[in-house]
Amino acid sequence: MTEASFSPSVRRRALLLAGAAAALPVRAQQRIFSLGLLSQADDARYDAQALQQGFPDAPAGRSAPAAQIALNDSLIKLQMASWTSTRLLTSEAPDAAGVPAALQQLVLKGVRHVILELPAAGVAAATAAAAGQDVILFNAAAPEDALRAAQCAPHLLHTLPSHAMQMDAIAQLLVARKWIRPLVLTGPTPADRLLISAWQRSAKRFGVRPVAEKAFRLSNDPRERDLGNVRLLTSDRDYDAVVVLDAQGEFAREVPYRTVLPRPVLGSNGLVAQAWSPFHERYGAPQLSRRFLRRTQRPMGSYDWATWMAARSAAEVAGAFNKSTVAQQLQALRQGAIAVDGYKGQRLSYRAWDGQLRQPLLLAHGGGIADMAPIEGFLHPRSVLDTLGYDAPESGCRIP
């Protein structure tokens, strides 16, 4: 019987079956790039009240939308590298003690690149739990310097700027503007002490000479009322600027325009060193800010950008080294074989010695960008970006 003797319906059915059979091997070869995002339910920075306060150097909301935007941005490049699609898998631990189990859930689902939207204790727990496993961790929400020093690990990278990087940016601006005799206002909490330590290192590094350091305290105790009075704290001497170090942000909010002398305010309010600002309008940055605003109905902030950058880094290395092991991908990231466009004017890479992402910082205020660090004139033998944060010779990270 010839092909012509079959009815049209039979021929049509045969063609459909043949097409389905041809598609089977393609489905079998599908490769889905899975990216994990691990958060912590008891992270106080994401409480409704904390988000409503909107302090300059704090998260403005959960950053999963930023990770999804990054995956969408990277899809074509991943498909060219034989990945068929992407997926974002989220896992939330109840607290730091639950982080290892939440991380293991992602690993069991085949995730090998995990973004950590965690406080410092959660990052430390995740790092310990991931030791010896084929997984790359990206810290996108903890600025503590210790995570880049004594608590560093070969499989832990950092996209959020460290405290040291932020304070170096502030110190560079003070020197560039010749405001080298600031008055420094410091808070009483353990988180404030981390900022103070980072600031003191930066001031010494760049030759800033504070006229005084004064402690502030917000309290309902009438005997401590003067410690929260900005005018009293800034009234007894001359100074070029005021540097306020307030990890929580409530006191720092009251400092601009309340000092006795008409001086600029920097640090935790006034002029703040940030990874991102919605007022950043160079290098194509408004494109990213608009995409994020459309998806979330809020401006993109530093923590959102850090998550976006972590997701872009993961996708970039998975695309460029799609046939490599996770260990080889990690080495490529740490050794600078992968550089990612972060909408900051240059491609960004990770430092081999502590896993920190090199990046310019925006010196931003409530209505715009005053400057971008590294400030022009500050030099480095390898990369001027390494003038921000701990350089290789001074790093406390000792990775075998």
- Who's near 323: CB < 8 A, 6+ residues apart? none
Q: Confirm if 44 and 50 have CB atoms less than 8 A apart.
A: yes
64: pLDDT strictly greater than 50: yes
pLDDT in the model for residue 226: 80
Question: What is the CATH classification number for the domain harbouring 267?
Answer: 3.40.50.2300
Q: Choose the final residue of a domain: 274, 298, 324.
A: 274
Assess whether 202 and 137 both reside in one domain: no
Q: Confirm if 85 and 326 have CB atoms less than 8 A apart.
A: no
Assess whether 178 and 284 both reside in one domain: no
Assess whether 254 and 283 both reside in one domain: no
Least confident of 28-42, 79-93, 301-315: 28-42
- Who's near 113: CB < 8 A, 6+ residues apart? 34, 35, 36, 135, 136, 138, 314, 318
How many domains would you assign to the chain? 2
Q: In terms of DSSP bridges, do strands 272-274 and 361-365 run parallel, antiparallel, or are they unpaired?
A: antiparallel
The closest of 241, 173, 163, 244 to 206, measured between CA atoms, is: 173
Distance between CA atoms of residues 183 and 238, nearest Å: 8
Query: Mean pLDDT throughout 175-200?
Result: 97
pLDDT in the model for residue 318: 95
Helices and strands, counts by H and E, the chain: 11, 14
Using 50, 70 and 90 to split pLDDT, how confident is the model at 220?
Answer: confident
Is 360 strand, coil or helix? coil
Assess whether 141 and 71 both reside in one domain: yes
Q: Which residue has the higher pLDDT, 179 or 8?
A: 179
268-297 residue pLDDT tens: 999 999 999 999 999 999 999 999 999 999
How many residues in total does the chain contain?
A: 400
pLDDT in the model for residue 8: 52
The parent domain of residue 179 ranges over 165-274
Query: Mean pLDDT throughout 373-388?
Result: 91
Q: In terms of DSSP bridges, do strands 340-341 and 347-348 run parallel, antiparallel, or are they unpaired?
A: antiparallel
The closest of 357, 380, 167 to 266, measured between CA atoms, is: 167
Task: Give strand ranges (E) for 203-320.
Answer: 212-215, 242-245, 265-267, 272-274
Assess whether 138 and 75 both reside in one domain: yes
pLDDT in the model for residue 12: 56
pLDDT, averaged across the chain: 91
Q: Is residue 367 domain-resident?
A: no
Q: Which residue has the higher pLDDT, 21 or 71?
A: 71
Distance between CA atoms of residues 237 and 231, nearest Å: 12
pLDDT in the model for residue 57: 84
235-266 residue pLDDT tens: 989 999 999 999 999 999 999 999 999 999 99
Distance between CA atoms of residues 383 and 380, nearest Å: 6
pLDDT in the model for residue 25: 46
Q: Is residue 300 domain-resident?
A: yes
Assess whether 255 and 183 both reside in one domain: yes
Assess whether 226 and 332 both reside in one domain: no
Least confident of 1-10, 32-41, 136-145, 373-382: 1-10
Query: Mean pLDDT throughout 4-25?
Result: 48
Q: Choose the final residue of a domain: 316, 334, 355.
A: 355
Assess whether 232 and 180 both reside in one domain: yes
Assess whether 197 and 169 both reside in one domain: yes
Q: Is residue 398 domain-resident?
A: no
Q: Which residue has the higher pLDDT, 5 or 304?
A: 304
Query: Mean pLDDT throughout 107-122?
Result: 97
Q: Is residue 224 domain-resident?
A: yes
Assess whether 139 and 284 both reside in one domain: yes
Q: What is the DSSP string of 253-273?
A: GG-TTTSSS---EEESSSBEE
Q: Is 241 left (phi over 0), alpha (psi -120 to 50) or beta?
A: beta
Distance between CA atoms of residues 174 and 375, nearest Å: 10
Q: Is residue 381 domain-resident?
A: no
Using 50, 70 and 90 to split pLDDT, how confident is the model at 30?
Answer: confident
pLDDT-above-70 percentage for the chain? 92
Q: Is residue 37 domain-resident?
A: yes
Q: Confirm if 144 and 66 have CB atoms less than 8 A apart.
A: no
Number of Cβ within 10 Å of residue 81's Cβ equals: 17
Q: Is residue 387 domain-resident?
A: no
Q: Confirm if 326 and 315 have CB atoms less than 8 A apart.
A: no
Number of Cβ within 10 Å of residue 328's Cβ equals: 13
Residue 42 has which token pair? 């008891």
Q: Is residue 2 domain-resident?
A: no
Q: Which phi and psi angles does 255 have, rounded to 5°?
A: -80, -45
Assess whether 253 and 156 both reside in one domain: no
156-168 residue pLDDT tens: 999 999 999 999 9
Query: Mean pLDDT throughout 187-209?
Result: 97
- Who's near 148: CB < 8 A, 6+ residues apart? 158, 162, 164, 354, 355, 356, 389, 390, 395, 396, 397
Q: Choose the final residue of a domain: 274, 305, 322.
A: 274
2: pLDDT strictly greater than 60: no
Q: Confirm if 253 and 168 have CB atoms less than 8 A apart.
A: no
Say which residue the tokens 């994401």 belong to: 46
Using 50, 70 and 90 to split pLDDT, how confident is the model at 29?
Answer: low
Assess whether 93 and 143 both reside in one domain: yes
221: pLDDT strictly greater than 90: no
pLDDT-above-90 percentage for the chain? 82
